[in-house]
Amino acid sequence: MAALVEMKNIVKIYPNGVVANNEVNFSVERGEIHALVGENGAGKTTLMKVLYGLEHPTSGQILIDGKPVHFHSPDDAIAAGIGMVHQNFMLVPSFTIAENIVLGKEPTRRGLLDRAEAIRVTEELSHQYGLKVEADAIVETVNVGMRQRVEILKTLYRGAEILILDEPTAVLTPQETQDLFRAIRKLVSQGKTVIFITHKLREVKEISDRVTVMRNGKVMGTLPTAEATREGLARMMVGRDVFLEVNKPPVQRGRKVMEVQDVSYVSETGRSMLKGVSFNVYAGEILGVAGVEGNGQTELVEVLTGLRPAASGRVLIDGKDILNRTPREVRLAGVAHIPEDRLTNGLALTASINENVIVDRYYNKPFRKGLLIDYKQVNKLGDALIDEFDIRTPSGLVPVASLSGGNMQKVIVAREFSFNPNILIAAQPTRGIDVGATEFIRDQLVRKRTAGTGVLLVSADLAEVMSLSDRIIVMYEGEITGVFPNAQEVSEEELGLYMLGLKRQTPEEMEAYL
């Protein structure tokens, strides 16, 4: 019997010359959960966009149920029973969930939208597939997990038999991820087929039946998940051995390098985003901050680095208060910052790599020579950092915009690490970058910590927080609700309960460990 989906010799060359898919063969059996993994830029999303009719292959053939098909647009793909849930949700935030689900194929009565019917079908679908949603809630008021369920229901409402989920767990908590996996299993038990794009190998092992690995626009192989190991998959993805487990020597906690005392922050719209946060960072340890995104972590980091004004509190470094000082004063106090959003804060994309790495030191020797900047020294530093941090680029003079995401992040890491900070604040240091660069950056973080730098690590990737940190604090709604002095001893589920606000420690319980 023919496979449900068969993509043969797919080639996709973008107009700018990038070869995203190169002679790709990919097939999916009916009723399976098929994981598609690979580094960023490996061509996973492009391949799925071709299947969903969003991109037209340069050459190659697609067969559904053994019959060749040509999709001119997603409408054709939807008609053939294919649905796709994108990484960035495509919902109308001000509409209700039911309205979003029926949008584009609305039940009508006398030419007008039949709201009651919309709610009825939403609830029926929700019940049938075990995807819990509140049909009459406004989308912008519900959490990310529910929005994702809305996206899935929307594709089901349009009659999808094959669901493509593009990195669905990137935005979810562990509990929400488990809920999603349960829902996926239920979908499959009712005859649906799921293609699951991810780069988290743990999830591949947990949820999928078969896995296809892509690298550099090509398929490196497809195998039953039962026969795959995480190490083996990582090797296929990267093309060499990858050390997934972080190897770090035992913590040698040093002196207190940063004291955060009772810091509060009120947003421009008047919302209280940080409510009296206090903790210490010690030399030689990684302090991880866990939490669902949007619970004050971004604000905390930006207040500590001088990018946002705090309402009250103190941040002491060597006895000196650096709160509400300029970013330069904070840097001069020895604080490095890997920003959460590298494109917004961390880089000037049109400027060269070399000019990006001197932003914190161009005014000092040896880069300053009299009235001028000594560009020989600048280029020397750039070349040295490109070498040391393995930034893949033809030279330091090319604009940062021409680099891949992972290499852009390495430019930031190179700059922030090379000024020998006492405190390193790393926000989402490996978000959206490939396995190779992630491994490199994690390794560098651990080295800095072992060399005696105090590291404050904020990450939405719980596995990252757990594997890198020596100590973990949990943030929930602008407060620290839990502290775990020994990161090895806490389970993911336990942290999840704190992250969702279902459990919290009293200030007395936390006091000794903050």
Partner 1 sequence: MKILRIPAVREVLRILLAITAALLLGFIITLLVSEDPIGAYKAFLTGPLSKFNRFGDWLEESITLIFVGLAVAVAFKSKQFSLGAEGQLLLGALVSGSIALFVPLPGILRIPVALLAAATVGFIYGWIPGYLKAHLNANEIVSTLMLNTIALKLYDYFLIFHIKPPNAGYNASDFFPKAGVLPSFVPPFMGDIYTRFSQQTNVTIMLYIMIAAFIAAYYMMFRTPFGYELRMIGANIKFANYGGINTKRTIILVFAISGIFGGLAGAHLAMGIHTKLIMNISLGMGFEGIVVATLARNNPLFVPLAGLAYGYLRAGADVMERASDVSREMVLVIQAIIILLVTAEGLLPVIQQRVAARRGANGQNAAALEGGENG
Of the candidate spans 2-10, 70-78, 348-356, 473-481, the one that interacts with partner 1 by CB under 8 A turns out to be 348-356
Q: How far apart are CA 401 and CA 396, in angstroms?
A: 12
> Applying CB under 8 A, does 371 fall inside the site for partner 1?
yes
Question: What Cα–Cα distance (Å) separates residue 204 from each residue in 371, 377, 467, 487?
Answer: 57, 47, 19, 25
> Applying CB under 8 A, does 151 fall inside the site for partner 1?
no
Side chain identity at residue 362, one-letter code: Y
Query: Of the two residues 113 and 238, which places its CB atom closer to partner 1 in the complex?
Result: 238
In the list 137, 373, 500, 514, the residue contacting partner 1 (rule: CB under 8 A) is 373
Residue with token string 């000082």? 325
Rounded to 10 deg, the angle between the 375-388 and 405-418 helix axes is 110
> Applying CB under 8 A, does 81 fall inside the site for partner 1?
no
Query: Of the two residues 145 and 436, which places its CB atom closer to partner 1 in the complex?
Result: 436
Minimum distance, C-beta of residue 40 to partner 1, in the bound complex (Å): 15
Query: Of the two residues 19 and 266, which places its CB atom closer to partner 1 in the complex?
Result: 19
Q: How far apart are CA 88 and CA 212, in angstroms?
A: 23
Q: Which helix (H) or strand (E) element contains residue 44?
A: helix 44-51
Query: Of the two residues 151 and 340, which places its CB atom closer to partner 1 in the complex?
Result: 340
> Applying CB under 8 A, does 16 fall inside the site for partner 1?
yes
In the list 9, 87, 326, 486, the residue contacting partner 1 (rule: CB under 8 A) is 326
Residue with token string 């007008």? 112
Minimum distance, C-beta of residue 221 to partner 1, in the bound complex (Å): 12
> Applying CB under 8 A, does 398 fall inside the site for partner 1?
no
> Applying CB under 8 A, does 397 fall inside the site for partner 1?
no
> Applying CB under 8 A, does 368 fall inside the site for partner 1?
yes
In the list 3, 8, 22, 113, the residue contacting partner 1 (rule: CB under 8 A) is 22
Q: How far apart are CA 437 and CA 417, in angstroms?
A: 15
Structural contact between residues 361 and 367, judged by C-beta atoms closer than 8 angstroms:
yes
Strand, coil or helix: 386: helix
Question: What Cα–Cα distance (Å) separates residue 396 from each residue in 251, 360, 367, 381, 413?
Answer: 36, 17, 16, 9, 15
Cβ count near 178 (within 10 Å): 15
Structural contact between residues 154 and 188, judged by C-beta atoms closer than 8 angstroms:
no
> Applying CB under 8 A, does 145 fall inside the site for partner 1?
no
Query: Of the two residues 168 and 217, which places its CB atom closer to partner 1 in the complex?
Result: 217
Query: Of the two residues 13 and 63, which places its CB atom closer to partner 1 in the complex?
Result: 13
> Applying CB under 8 A, does 217 fall inside the site for partner 1?
yes
Q: How far apart are CA 2 and CA 477, in angstroms?
A: 52
Q: How far apart are CA 277 and CA 296, in angstroms?
A: 10
In the list 103, 113, 246, 349, the residue contacting partner 1 (rule: CB under 8 A) is 349
> Applying CB under 8 A, does 439 fall inside the site for partner 1?
no
> Applying CB under 8 A, does 18 fall inside the site for partner 1?
yes
Residue with token string 């999840």? 496
Both tokens of residue 227? 């026969």
Tell me the sheet residues that pair with 163: 83, 194
Both tokens of residue 433? 């970058």
Among candidates 52, 58, 45, 72, which has minimal Cα distance to 10? 58
> Applying CB under 8 A, does 316 fall inside the site for partner 1?
no
> Applying CB under 8 A, does 261 fall inside the site for partner 1?
no
> Applying CB under 8 A, does 15 fall inside the site for partner 1?
yes
Query: Of the two residues 80 and 427, which places its CB atom closer to partner 1 in the complex?
Result: 427
Residue span 177-216 as binding mask against partner 1, x where in contact by CB under 8 A, dash where not: --------------------------------------xx
Query: Of the two residues 30 and 361, which places its CB atom closer to partner 1 in the complex?
Result: 361
Tell me the sheet residues that pair with 196: 35, 165
Q: How far apart are CA 511 and CA 506, in angstroms?
A: 9
Site for partner 1 in 281-310 (CB under 8 A): 305, 307
In the list 261, 362, 477, 494, the residue contacting partner 1 (rule: CB under 8 A) is 362
**Which residues of this protein are in contact with partner 1, per CB under 8 A?**
13, 15-19, 22, 215-218, 238-240, 305, 307, 326-328, 331, 337, 339, 344-351, 355, 358-360, 362-363, 368, 371-373, 375
